Amino acid sequence: MSSFGTLFRISTFGESHGKGVGVIVDGCPPCLKLSEADIQVQLDRRRPGQSHLTTAVSIVVHLTTVIHNSQRSEADRVTIQSGTENGVTLGTPISCFVPNQDQRPGDYKEMNAVPRPSHADYTYQEKYLVAARSGGGRASARETIGRVAAGAIAEKWLKEQYNTEIVAFVSAIGEVSTKGVDINTITRDEVDKSLVRCPDKEAVVEMQKVIESAKADEDSIGGVITCVIRNVPTGLGEPCFDKLEAKLAHAMLSIPATKGFEVGSGFEGAKMRGSAHNDMFFRRTDGKLGTHTNFSGGIQGGISNGEHIFFRVAFKPAATIGRDQETVDFSGKPATLAAKGRHDPCVTPRAIPIVETMAALVLADAALIQMARKTAGLYLQQKE
């Protein structure tokens, strides 16, 4: 289904070439200052072609084109339709809508009879016996606009309530990886300094080359995003099935084009011994316990321990490429597919706000659930 969350619950809708896309955010706490500007900032980071960066102009311009040419003309301007009055949330459902301005179904005509390899054309047809015949329908990247709008609201609340900071950055493009990015201090401003959204100045040069090379070959390339969440209260996440890392994994693997998720030590942790992997406790200056190391990634037994949460998400190369592809049509007859429409050589940089806002949705929901438990538990404990 197109809903996510329990107490902070969102429902999205919208195909790529219909009237628009949007989301209902149900359960956002009341009394939160909220305007469309709060939401627009992440939609703008998701949307391409709006960079004001001054560094490396020639490359920037070039890369902008490369990465974002597909949607330059769509402003993705959000409207709040309900749930706020006088700039404050009412506690009632907040509906956000973004119209589709740029509808060019013609671009995809050729694909109608031919399911695009590694896209969702074939599986939607199998699932629903019918499929949107233009632009991927619900499987389009535009579906993520609703998530980003909703998650921007979750971020705002987490910031107000806990001063929580969520920062994601590109940590790999193809074979090129970052080194030494400090997740304790990294900021969104630093991330946005490069169009690749990678704060490692040396890596970014190589990454840009990798992307340009893929573009020159009418091809695409995958990448990895690392995300850190700072100032997380302890106690978030439910034991058993709704462990905090399980919900984060669910959220991340629900983003189009993702193939993997790892938290804390991740797959490297599987190679380690317990004596090295265990995070020893110490007493912090505020009296609470902290851990010297953080292989746990801020989560133990499915519950946040107050340390930074960090995780990595793998993105496959975009399925839509300009190169000819030898495949078959829906009837099984051989066909050569050449995408003439929109396509990005690397979608990973644009996924940064999607990763951040999905993480915010998971945390906001877990925080509200824990708020109920803790308020009740504290009262009962103090009665003794």
Distance in Å from the first CA to the final CA of the chain: 44
Residue selected from 245, 349, 352, 355 as contacting its own copies according to rule CB under 8 A? 245
229 forms part of the interface with its own copies (CB under 8 A): no
Taking CB under 8 A as the binding criterion, the range among 45-53, 61-69, 179-187, 261-269 that sits at the site for its own copies is 261-269
Query: Does an H or E element contain 244, and which?
Result: helix 244-253
The interface with its own copies within residues 134-153 (CB under 8 A) comprises 137-139, 143
- Residue 141 corresponds to which amino acid? A
Residue selected from 35, 73, 81, 185 as contacting its own copies according to rule CB under 8 A? 81
User: Which one, of 173, 172, 43, lies nearest residue 96 by Cα?
Assistant: 43
Interface with its own copies: number of residues (CB under 8 A): 164
As a whole number of angstroms, the distance between CA 292 and CA 301 comes to 18
As a whole number of angstroms, the distance between CA 383 and CA 66 comes to 63
**Minimal distance in Å, beta carbon 333 to its own copies?**
8
As a whole number of angstroms, the distance between CA 215 and CA 211 comes to 6
53 forms part of the interface with its own copies (CB under 8 A): no
Please, which residue, 23 or 51, has the CB nearer to its own copies?
23
Burial 2-11 (b: 16+ CB within 10 A, else e): eebbebbbbb
* DSSP symbol at 337: E
104 forms part of the interface with its own copies (CB under 8 A): no
The interface with its own copies within residues 264-303 (CB under 8 A) comprises 264-267, 269-275, 277-283, 287, 289, 291, 295-297, 299-303
Taking CB under 8 A as the binding criterion, the range among 1-9, 65-73, 186-194, 196-204 that sits at the site for its own copies is 1-9
Per-residue contact track with its own copies, 355 to 384, x per CB under 8 A?
Answer: -------------xxxxxxxxxxxxxx-xx
**Minimal distance in Å, beta carbon 185 to its own copies?**
24
- Residue 211 corresponds to which amino acid? I
Report whether 298 contacts 309 (CB < 8 A). Answer: yes
- Structure token digits, residue 286: 């505020």
327 forms part of the interface with its own copies (CB under 8 A): yes
Query: How remote is the C-alpha of 316 from its chain's centroid?
Result: 14
**Minimal distance in Å, beta carbon 111 to its own copies?**
13
95 forms part of the interface with its own copies (CB under 8 A): yes
